[in-house]
Structure 1
Amino acid sequence: MNEPTPTTIRWEQDGTGVVTLVLDDPAHSANTMNAAFRASLTAVADRLEAERDGVRGVIITSAKKTFFAGADLHDLLSAHPGDARRVFDSSMAVKRDLRRIETLGVPVVAALGGTALGGGLEIALACHHRVALDDPDIRFGLPEVTLGLLPGGGGVVRAVRLLGITDALLTVLLEGRRHTPHRALEAGLVHELAAGAEDLSARARAFIDAHPESRQPWDEKGYRVPGGTPSTPAFAANLPAFPASLRKQLGGAPCPAPRNILAAAVEGAQVDFATAQTIEARYFTELVTGPTAKNMIQAFFFDLRAVNAGRSRPDGPGPRTVRRTAVLGAGMMGAGIAHSCARAGIEVVLKDVSREAAERGKAHCAALLEKAVARGRTTEAERDALLARITPTADPADLAGCDAVIEAVFEDPDLKHRVFREIEDVVAPDALLCSNTSTLPISLLAEGVERPADFVGLHFFSPVDKMPLVEVVKGARTGDEALARTFDLVRQIRKTPIVVNDGRGFFTSRVIGQFLDEGVAMVGEGLDPASVEQAAAQAGYPAKVLSLVDELTLTLPRRIRKEARRAVEAAGGVWLEHPAETVIDRMVDEFGRTGRNGGAGFYDYEAPEDGGEGRARGAGDGRGGHRGGRRAGLWPGLREHFGKPGAAIPFEDMKERMLFSEALDAVRCLQEGVLTSVADANIGSLLGIGFPAWTGGVLQYVNGYPGGPRGFLARAEELQERYGDRFAPPELLREKAERGETFTDGPGDRAERGRADYRAEHGPGD
């Protein structure tokens, strides 16, 4: 029988009757579940059934570096409600073909020489035995939930039958974890590990030799789902905890994927395999044809890939690798930066005003590593090697030869100027000069160095070891060479860089300030603070707005506001007061409540020394108390001092005021040239400042709003009429709405024009 054509699966059969199916899409660098693969899978299943008598076993492997990349996301992104039947039928066709291979009656083995995520792991789960290459860079998992989807190729059904409902949900499905080979082995996703390619093949063949007749565990007579099903009394007693836990985790946010995964897992466990596959396909179809998955696919796949691939990196300069970095300031931020650099293999000199302060910074790195060792994420040898790359010092001479400097001292321009003057003649003559600041204009800070063309803003987010984003800020005189080197440095330390132009607050700090101000303003309007917090949760924010203000302190936004006001008025402008300002001023000046670090803010806090059971501070006039204990609830004085009888607005308005305040300001940033990329805006808002994941980011939220930018414009005008001119639509939004356009990156897009306008005003850099 001739090999099916066209094919993305090569058929290789040896003289013993073992068939090796090699996944190898000739048209793409990675294997995906595109139309060509689906056709090839059907043809291979047909051939295996037709030639079953001559087939002793099947090995599924890949010719690509990655075993299989998963679904064709371009195809999923284009699906709409009218495509529901097509999506459902396509999902069922893949399930049927994998099931035909799974039930041949001969051993089927997955030889996993590379990463298998999503559809790749679904193919592997349809095999009776899974051998994985023992490579720490390989990952296995079903991360569809992170794209607003669920596994549509039988992944939910097989994971539940393999691991049980509880372990399948918590270990694989609901969080989309990506497991290393060893963790996949521990979790039961793979059966054994191989030392190399030859060992991988040998182990796959050894299984076939040892199991001439093989089938899946769930096809054995009398098989029971591990841990039971809803019909099992012990399991049924605990079943209500799952939806309750999920509701608490989501906080009411409109995230349908976890809900559909839970439903598919529980419902599918109660029926036969075929029916369970149909249930999975229906829930999958609902997600694919809905708006949330489109938002998340656009952001977390396409936009993230574009950002990391260097869309905002200048084209001309070639790549450069940093060998030795000086970190100025050994506080929590500086220590975190030093840890990230050392983890990437870079030698780090951690400098502070005293050797003792620098040693404390290194001790912070050691504490982070101890936790990683305890959790099995690194070894003692790796810990020791990383710490050996960090040299604490107070002597500027120790910075000799450093080819990059990252300053992380207090937010004071004079102080930052002093620390750069102290070391600029010591480090390498062309060393990259970076300032970690969240609000101070980079062009202002560059005035304190001799080489402003090599000076760049490098805004890390706290805690540095956990936050994946870095905001790269181009000053008026920053050169393309420095910008490219900074971009490369951020990628070298395995973080995601967005690139923005200079401006007070840049992009992230400026936009998150709108969210915080809007939440505080609603308290000032007399709305119940608990409702304000619930609105933030149901909008999908990972941190409730008033609790976040407390974490950041109430004094920080006030200081930033005063500096911004002085700058505006010095330039001859008029400061537009936000209604949040009065609330913040009263909280600090009248009630002495400055946030969690001060022991009291919008929330009361328990005394740390009481082990969480002590007296809640702030029961009286709001003054005094303890520093940074556990939250004890919203301060009752909020209702007493700010509440107004009968104050109420639609709950949907409360949610959308926060979302719109950030999205509208992001459009302004794009219009003003602070932002030059839609992808940077979306990824920056998601990874840096907690904009709700279901939206796909600040500008994708505009695109995905009912009616698109036109519908968003109409709603913004409605909010403006009800709540004030801060919701006035920017001209760029009106342009998009009138033209029927969405916010996308392209050569003719306003983002490109904004970049050109910025260069025309400030020059191309030195």
Structure 2
Amino acid sequence: MDCIRYDRDADGIVTLTLDNPGKSANMMNTAFRAALERAVDRLEAERGQIRGVIVTSAKKTFLAGGDLSAILALTPGDFADAFHRAEHTKSLLRRLELLGRPVAAAINGSALGGGMELCLACHARFCVDAKGLKLGLPETNLGLIPAAGGIVRLVRMIGLQAAVPMIVDGKSISPAKALELGLVTEVVPDIDTALRQARDWIASGPELTKPWDRKGYTLPGSTEAYIADPMYLRTAPILLIKKSRGRYPAQEAAMRAAFEGASVDFDAASRIESRRFAEVGTGPVAKNMITTLFFHMQDANAGKARPEGIAPRKVSRLGVLGAGMMGGGIAHAAASRGVDCVMKDATLENAEKGMDRLRGMVEGQIARGHTSRDKADALLARIRPSGEAKDLDGCDLIIEAVFEDRALKASVTREAEPMLAPGGIFASNTSTLPITGLAEASAKPANFIGLHFFSPVDRMPLVEIIKGRETSAETLAGALDFVQQIGKTPIVVNDSRGFFTSRVFGTYIREGAQMVEDGISAALVENVAADAGLPVGPLTVLDQVSLSLTHSARQQALRDAEAEGTTLAPAAGYGIIARMVELGRPGRAGGGGFYDYGADGSKTLWPGLATQFNAGSASIDAKEVEDRLLYIQAIEAIRIFEEGVVETVRDANVGSILGIGYPRWTGGVLQFVTMIGTAAFAARADALADAHGERFRPPALLREKAARNEAFV
């Protein structure tokens, strides 16, 4: 069965129905391109019997992008092949565009990437106003650029200034926004109406020549002298570099293809687009981003970590212990997905304060247009503030989100756990404390698990699920079901102090502090972190989370180790952190830390760093600083993988990007090692260890993989 069904009716209207057999979605892969070529050949052969063409889909989505597995197989030596493949695809769409018969798209589902490019090649587009339907060219989000004429046509339809943000940022838009921009002809209520209007449009005898194929065409927004506003032409590239720091070649390639293509004819612009696609498609960043942000994310969201043979379950009633920012955020996330919540604090007054914070949050969302008044009111109505444990009765899941204090967590566990419904799950939102130890307060440790949310919960998509020693498979499955139910992405790890994300992130902030203690300029450390694509500098993070809290946590860990009869090895960064606390610099909340903070919200690095620690006296280049910040996290991730705390490369990569902000261009901590090559990475790690300390020395697992030049997959 072909990927495209060809049906010509008695009126001479051909309907091309995209219907990839045996698949849930249509994809612009090799089979599809072959089917499209056969369809275009037949259309041209039967042109005399055809009045018009309608392109639609038999799937819930119209057409997805290209075959990303094929992109992953490309190497730098495949540049010519990638170029010619792109040229061939766009030649088919160009033949459809120049068929000499009206071609309409009846868009019944999301058309993204190649799907949008096919629609743009049609002469008219009738789009169903369906919930969740999106249109756009999101390729840059995976390190690629459109390669089937999407850049060329979008620029010619709406001009550079309107098209470039869509192309470079890879943002998808709603049918209503597409209509406003002139990218669709009509927005209709259902597919039957779309098909009917497409037929009526064909019968009206529409103009068959696209504007850019007519004599005298000028680019929207252009003048005789410039292809767009001169100020925009000067500032857009600067703003892009400022935003991307040069780490995302696809964004630069997309802008270049748009700007360069706007200055030449359609065919030349198409070739430019193909060349720019081949550049990024054969490069390492696209492979990193596709591997993690598509394939690994897809598997994580599909519940690949879920134990088999266990019936799915749904949380109807959730209990949250603690009405602070974290507890309130968890309640908000669940209520936004229709889950009834009880948000309990020590007193009803405290719980009501938490509700006031949530009301302020949703008011802000309404003001920004992210939700409606009705939806916000319905969300808040699902959350019941309480100061009484009895109000938790019948909850399917209870999550404690109280302070990181073992005794407090044990107390609230004993109080709330009896209120669970039969078979209910109790979870801790701890970010560092071992789950097995916390489960000692539980009467049913098999039903106890860790659910580590990240702050702010409404914006952070990850939940780290931690299995205790006695956590059952049924509890893990139920936890995964809940995380998916509220629209978050899960990773699953085994129990240890700090689990995965906190352990890895801890090495980052401590390494930043250690470099200042080593005499490196604090400004250099912070700026290099930003240039590498890390969202917040390590010194800024330490100030925000509190140097005194970090110091106290270290002292507690040392006491715990002593009580257990073990010792903790010296760790980077703690020396300067302790000294900063002694100097009365406990962090932002305490008046200042590495930074001084102005009443107007401004911040400047504390001058005392130079006098107290000789910061700025050491000579070091930016690449050395960057390697220390990126390598230390990857090395810790390898140790954690080696220990079996994290069991899959997928969870390590997804967790590092979504949870701690490891740069997206790397594909995550272990994909970064694979990009460098395990042998080259191990050699560089040894050099860093020789220069800066044994913490950089390659773990045994890395040595083994380096000896075989084996990637982390």
Task: Place the TM-score, normalised by the shorter chain, in its bin.
Answer: over 0.9
Name the SS for the 2:78 alignment partner: helix
* 1:260 counterpart letter in structure 2: A
Contact 1:469 1:687 (C-alpha < 8 Å) held by counterparts: yes
Match of 2:669 among 698, 702, 705: 698
State how 1:225-264 maps to structure 2 within 5 Å: 225-228=219-222, 231-232=225-226, 235-250=229-244, 252-264=245-257
Contact 2:464 2:492 (C-alpha < 8 Å) held by counterparts: yes
Contact 2:449 2:465 (C-alpha < 8 Å) held by counterparts: yes
State how 1:249-648 maps to structure 2 within 5 Å: 249-250=243-244, 252-590=245-583, 592-607=584-599, 612=600, 630-643=601-614, 646-648=617-619
Name the SS for the 1:322 alignment partner: coil
State how 1:67-82 maps to structure 2 within 5 Å: 67-82=62-77
Structure 2 CA distance for aligned equivalents of residues 458 and 701 of structure 1: 27
2:699 corresponding residue in structure 1: 730
TM-score, L = length of structure 1: 0.90
Structure 2 CA distance for aligned equivalents of residues 35 and 361 of structure 1: 54
Contact 1:333 1:464 (C-alpha < 8 Å) held by counterparts: yes
- 1:4-28 Cα offsets, whole Å, 9 max, x none, are xx73211111111111111112253
Contact 1:681 1:697 (C-alpha < 8 Å) held by counterparts: yes
Change (3 A) 1:231 1:48: farther
2:218 corresponding residue in structure 1: 224
Contact 1:539 1:656 (C-alpha < 8 Å) held by counterparts: no
* 2:305 counterpart letter in structure 1: S
Name the SS for the 2:320 alignment partner: strand
Contact 2:596 2:606 (C-alpha < 8 Å) held by counterparts: yes
Structure 2 CA distance for aligned equivalents of residues 559 and 234 of structure 1: 57
Which 10-residue stretch deviates more, 277-286 or 390-399? 390-399
TM-score, L = length of structure 2: 0.97
Q: CA deviation at 1:595?
A: 2.3
Q: CA deviation at 1:477?
A: 1.1
Q: CA deviation at 1:600?
A: 1.5
Gaps of 5+ in 1: 1-5, 613-629, 745-766
Change (3 A) 1:560 1:272: same
- 1:269-289 Cα offsets, whole Å, 9 max, x none, are 111111111111111100010
Q: CA deviation at 1:372?
A: 2.8
Match of 1:84 among 70, 79, 84: 79
Q: CA deviation at 1:666?
A: 0.5
Q: CA deviation at 1:459?
A: 0.4
- 1:374-410 Cα offsets, whole Å, 9 max, x none, are 3333222222221111111112222111111011111
Q: CA deviation at 1:43?
A: 2.1
Contact 1:165 1:265 (C-alpha < 8 Å) held by counterparts: yes
Structure 1 residue 669 corresponds to structure 2 residue 663: no
Percent identity between the aligned chains?
50
Structure 1 residue 137 corresponds to structure 2 residue 132: yes
Structure 2 CA distance for aligned equivalents of residues 644 and 401 of structure 1: 57
2:149 corresponding residue in structure 1: 154
Q: CA deviation at 1:175?
A: 1.9
- 1:41-71 Cα offsets, whole Å, 9 max, x none, are 2222222222222221111111112111111
Contact 1:130 1:190 (C-alpha < 8 Å) held by counterparts: yes
Change (3 A) 1:166 1:555: farther
Q: CA deviation at 1:500?
A: 0.4
1:209 corresponding residue in structure 2: 203
Which 10-residue stretch deviates more, 147-156 or 486-495? 147-156
- 1:165-193 Cα offsets, whole Å, 9 max, x none, are 122122x1222222233333334433322
Match of 1:56 among 21, 46, 51: 51
Name the SS for the 2:268 alignment partner: helix
Name the SS for the 1:59 alignment partner: strand
Q: CA deviation at 1:573?
A: 3.2
* 1:437 counterpart letter in structure 2: T
Structure 1 residue 176 corresponds to structure 2 residue 170: yes
* 1:209 counterpart letter in structure 2: A
State how 1:5-44 maps to structure 2 within 5 Å: 7-26=2-21, 28-44=23-39
Q: CA deviation at 1:731?
A: 0.6
Name the SS for the 2:169 alignment partner: coil
* 1:366 counterpart letter in structure 2: R
Contact 1:314 1:484 (C-alpha < 8 Å) held by counterparts: yes
Contact 1:11 1:20 (C-alpha < 8 Å) held by counterparts: yes
Contact 2:520 2:616 (C-alpha < 8 Å) held by counterparts: no
- 1:316-349 Cα offsets, whole Å, 9 max, x none, are 3211011000111111111111111011111111
Structure 1 residue 116 corresponds to structure 2 residue 87: no
Q: CA deviation at 1:229?
A: 6.9
1:3 corresponding residue in structure 2: none
* 2:219 counterpart letter in structure 1: V
Structure 1 CA distance for aligned equivalents of residues 643 and 651 of structure 2: 15
Contact 1:326 1:404 (C-alpha < 8 Å) held by counterparts: yes
Structure 1 CA distance for aligned equivalents of residues 535 and 696 of structure 2: 23
Structure 2 CA distance for aligned equivalents of residues 682 and 392 of structure 1: 37
Change (3 A) 1:740 1:579: closer
Name the SS for the 2:219 alignment partner: coil
Aligned length: 713
Structure 1 CA distance for aligned equivalents of residues 318 and 304 of structure 2: 25
- 1:401-445 Cα offsets, whole Å, 9 max, x none, are 111101111111111111122222223132210111111111111
Structure 1 residue 199 corresponds to structure 2 residue 168: no
Structure 2 CA distance for aligned equivalents of residues 384 and 410 of structure 1: 29
Structure 1 CA distance for aligned equivalents of residues 532 and 612 of structure 2: 26
Structure 1 CA distance for aligned equivalents of residues 361 and 51 of structure 2: 51
Change (3 A) 1:365 1:178: farther
Q: Give the alignment's Cα RMSD to 1 decimal.
A: 1.7
Contact 1:695 1:701 (C-alpha < 8 Å) held by counterparts: yes
Contact 1:312 1:677 (C-alpha < 8 Å) held by counterparts: no
* 1:345 counterpart letter in structure 2: G
Change (3 A) 1:244 1:572: same
Which 10-residue stretch deviates more, 429-438 or 351-360? 351-360
